[in-house]
Chain A
Amino acid sequence: MFWELELVIYIFLLISAIVALEVDDLLVAVVMMTIFSFLMALLFVAMGAIDVGFTEAVIGAGVTGILFVVVVYQTSRKTND
């Protein structure tokens, strides 16, 4: 894979991780974690680990996102700290 494209994916990975840590709205944090998982899956596939990337895309970007959204709906949406 082209290293320029991987560099762009790494930069977006860092941005999504920092936003997920720093944002106050928990729903935004969940969406950012989903984006992080999907970019991570792309990087796994680029590094040749097709099976790991597949699992990351299905679990990290699919099922975990839904479960986190349910948890956010059952608690408060804003963080207190």
Chain B
Amino acid sequence: MKEQFQSPIVLLGSRLLSPYIMLFGWYVIIHGHYSPGGGFQGGALLAASVLLIRVAGGTRLSSLQLREVINTPMATLGVAIYFLTGVVAVLAGGFFLDYGQLPIPGLEAAWLRYYGILIIEVGIGLTVMAILIMIYDNMVKGEDHA
């Protein structure tokens, strides 16, 4: 389909939906450790909210929301959160990713595991979001499909 035209209705609908999808993605990540969902599903929802604007608005408009150069640092940050949590548990005297050994003062072991899984989920969500957006950006590189 070579002829392209701007559709204000599609753009307005995407702009209306995108923040709510992103909010729901964060809800899924934050509640991932005791209800259905988790880091992967929440990250995919975050990526869907960004991809919606990218498909509807084109490169120039979507760079106002999330620039393309942020993808790689964001994916690296997610992996670093995951790995550092595991290494901190090792340095505190436990095994790798042994959340009960995390050195957060004032919490007993059950709550340490609770918050440890939450930190891991945030890292996974960031990485999944960045990688899915990166796949899209590399597929449309050089062409504008808006």
Contact = CB atoms under 8 A, between A and B. Distances in A.
Interface of A is mostly: helix
Contacts, number: 45
A66 B140 CA distance: 11
A77 B1 CA distance: 7
B1 A69 contact: no
Contacts of A51: 36-38, 41
Q: On chain A, which size bracket covers the interface?
A: 10 to 19
B128 to A, nearest CB: 10
A70 B41 CA distance: 22
Interface of B: 1, 36-38, 40-41, 44-45, 47-48, 51-52, 55, 132, 135-136, 139-140, 143, 145
Interface of A: 27, 50-51, 54-55, 58-59, 62-63, 66-67, 69-71, 73-74, 77
